[in-house]
Amino acid sequence: MKKGKVINSDISRVISQMGHFDKLSIGDAGMPVPSDTEKIDLAVSNGLPGFIDVLENVLEELEVQSIELAEEIKTMNPAILEKIKEIMPETPITFIPHEEMKKDLTNCHAFIRTGEMTPYANIILVSGVVF
């Protein structure tokens, strides 16, 4: 049995296959995922698991050099935005329109769907390197 922090086999596989500048997305239960993007569905019920819990778990194994967030998070979900900034204080953030974010999911290795039920709780993680 895997001993590390990320024990979900699909998430672990995707992270292990990522290289520099590759993208992985984590989001709320309502985010539409393009059919050609792998969806790892963790949603169990309303709020389970939460977006922040899944983000913190993924960050245990994925080196992230920058993130993309929807511009709308600033006004529609400032609590999640502040929590992301707390967790990743040194990570550069690019804000893009939500419609652009939805299109950019086609460039992600996978989308991890959480049970989060708050608006714009979506992030695109851009992989860095550990050397």
Q: What are the catalytic residues?
A: 20
Residues 6+ apart with CB under 8 A from 10: 38, 40, 110
How many other β-carbons are positioned within 10 Å of the β-carbon of residue 109? 18
Q: How far apart, in Å, are the Cα atoms of 16 and each of 20, 40, 92?
A: 12, 15, 23
Find where tokens 């672990």 sit: 12
